[in-house]
Amino acid sequence: MAPTATADAVICGAGIAGVSTAYFLAVHEGMSDLVLCDPRPPLTLTSDKSTECYRNWWPDPSMVSFMGRSIDLLENLSDESGNAFNLGRRGYLYVTGGGTAQLVTAAAQISDAGAGSVRVHTGSSDDPSYVAAEPEGWATHPDGADVFAASEPLTEHFPYLTGAARGATHVRRAGWFSAQQLGAWMLDRARERGLALRRSRIVEVDVDKDRVTGVRLDNGTRIATGVFINAAGPMAQGVAAMTGVDLPMHNEVHLKLAFRDSLGAIPRDAPMLIWTDPQRLNLSDEERRLCVEEGRTDLLGEMPAGCHCRPEGGVDSQWVLGLWEYHRDVREPVWPLPTDGLYADTVLRGLATMVPAIAAYLEDPPQSVVDGGYYTKTTDNLPLIGPAGPTGSYVCGALSGYGVMAASAAGELAAAYATGSALPDYAPAFHPGRYDDPAYREQDAGAIDTGQI
């Protein structure tokens, strides 16, 4: 007979989604008899591989509200913890070498959804003033966005960008923080309120008369509970299958390069820099021939938009993170992660289009490390948060490439569902039940602007 414990709620997965859900249940909803299960140490799978960036700037209005709430919570937690997780607000600079008219239109639409006001800079004497970001902290920084609709004011403030840059949008309520430190701080607060952490895998969910009654762990223990929250990240689909639910999600490989920028190509106070145009790699005839020989013709045509980077660490650090998802690799999650031997070289080439000084590394490659994880996604690239399956069963997942920035609002929302608290206006947009509608399931995912980078 398996030993039995009881809990008011059991959370599956101690990534940032599960930790945040535990924090909101324990600290804000006052649920003390809580268990968080994970065979891995907390925050060590996907949540450890992120670029740790955040922004309130999204094409979907429900995402603007949701991320606005998540950033409100992050700022409150930063105040409460003495900024234990180093929240900064240098912004995201979306740079283009193309037309600038659409920058103003797109910014106005996102601003109308509640993301803050837009200031347009054309280089004329009546331009609004541009307030440069402080390298640290967030409280005194502007919000909304500064749109550079001409190259002169842009290169005046960001002289390291290519002369081909024609304009940019500097999103201001954006930046990065330490996801590990945030998660550790939340976990400590939840444990002070009674959260128990179990280093075990959940292998079964017991359901009786369409109601969750307990979970079983790989060590043989059964925990009797009426509330089960699936925050299993890339494994959430397999975990949902334990309750007979088919979650509409898939996993995409996303790699990340860290390189030592010993030449100082990226200034230490730079914001997140994103090249928003498709591009072709600058390859010599010999390099093209080698690509063909090695079966890498994927690198020879037009490459997608979205190559991006940011400085990592303080002023004394030389490290820079660079990312570019130039081929979509959807698969069942496996580890070690499938990698790409040419990733570092390709990302550096892509970044050199935006910041020419990086080209020096193509001849003399820098010290570098490639890691990454999975973006666990739905076709609309919106999360799945809410009830799924038998009564008492919930999911907090499909957090794609934004789970670290969304975790606070996602955990708060999952906790509100589990306790029957009032739900925010954006809740229906993320309810898993939206996929019960066959028309919604069959929508053309490729036609949706999801804001993914």
Interface positions with ligand FAD (CB under 6 A): 12-18, 37-40, 45-47, 49-54, 201-202, 231-235, 239, 254, 256, 372-373, 375, 397, 399-405
What is the full DSSP assignment across 237-276?
Answer: HHHHHTTT-----EEEEEEEEEEE-TT--S-TT--EEEE-
In the complex, least distance from residue 285 CB atom to ligand FAD, rounded to whole angstroms: 33
Query: Tokens in use for 266?
Result: 């990226």
Q: Among residues 42 and 153, whose Cβ is nearest to ligand FAD?
A: 42
In the complex, least distance from residue 12 CB atom to ligand FAD, rounded to whole angstroms: 5
In the complex, least distance from residue 104 CB atom to ligand FAD, rounded to whole angstroms: 26
Residue 387 host element (H or E)? strand 384-387
In the complex, least distance from residue 266 CB atom to ligand FAD, rounded to whole angstroms: 16
Phi, psi of 351 (to 5 degrees): -65, -35
In the complex, least distance from residue 261 CB atom to ligand FAD, rounded to whole angstroms: 19
How many other C-beta atoms lie within 10 A of the C-beta of residue 100? 19
CA 352 to chain centre: 24
Q: What is the pairing mode between strands 92-96 and 167-171?
A: antiparallel
In the complex, least distance from residue 256 CB atom to ligand FAD, rounded to whole angstroms: 4
In the complex, least distance from residue 247 CB atom to ligand FAD, rounded to whole angstroms: 12
What Cα–Cα distance (Å) separates residue 218 from each residue in 10, 33, 189, 227? 15, 21, 27, 19
Q: Among residues 15 and 306, whose Cβ is nearest to ligand FAD?
A: 15
Distance CA(396)–CA(387), nearest Å, equals 9
Q: Among residues 50 and 379, whose Cβ is nearest to ligand FAD?
A: 50
In the complex, least distance from residue 418 CB atom to ligand FAD, rounded to whole angstroms: 16
Q: Among residues 15 and 311, whose Cβ is nearest to ligand FAD?
A: 15
3-state secondary structure of 357: helix
Q: Among residues 299 and 453, whose Cβ is nearest to ligand FAD?
A: 453
Q: Among residues 277 and 325, whose Cβ is nearest to ligand FAD?
A: 325
Q: Identify the residue whose tokens are 């993914």.
A: 452
Query: Tokens in use for 277?
Result: 């145009």
Distance CA(336)–CA(240), nearest Å, equals 23
Q: Among residues 149 and 406, whose Cβ is nearest to ligand FAD?
A: 406
Distance CA(261)–CA(313), nearest Å, equals 12
Q: Among residues 167 and 401, whose Cβ is nearest to ligand FAD?
A: 401
Q: Among residues 101 and 369, whose Cβ is nearest to ligand FAD?
A: 369
Q: Among residues 168 and 272, whose Cβ is nearest to ligand FAD?
A: 272
Q: CB neighbours of 112 closer than 8 A, spacing ≥ 6?
A: none
Q: How are strands ordered across the β-sheet holding 167-171?
A: 118-121, 145-148, 167-171, 92-96, 272-275, 307-311, 319-323, 250-260, 368-377
Q: Among residues 223 and 235, whose Cβ is nearest to ligand FAD?
A: 235
How many other C-beta atoms lie within 10 A of the C-beta of residue 290? 12
Query: Tokens in use for 433?
Result: 């039940």
* The residue count for the chain: 453
Query: Tokens in use for 434?
Result: 């939206």
Q: CB neighbours of 43 closer than 8 A, spacing ≥ 6?
A: 14, 15, 16, 19, 179, 180, 183, 184
In the complex, least distance from residue 272 CB atom to ligand FAD, rounded to whole angstroms: 8
Dihedral over alpha carbons 58, 60, 63, 67 (to 10 degrees): 20
In the complex, least distance from residue 417 CB atom to ligand FAD, rounded to whole angstroms: 16
In the complex, least distance from residue 442 CB atom to ligand FAD, rounded to whole angstroms: 25
What Cα–Cα distance (Å) separates residue 406 from each residue in 85, 173, 387? 15, 14, 18
Whether the Cβ atoms of residue 254 and residue 323 lie closer than 8 Å to each other: yes
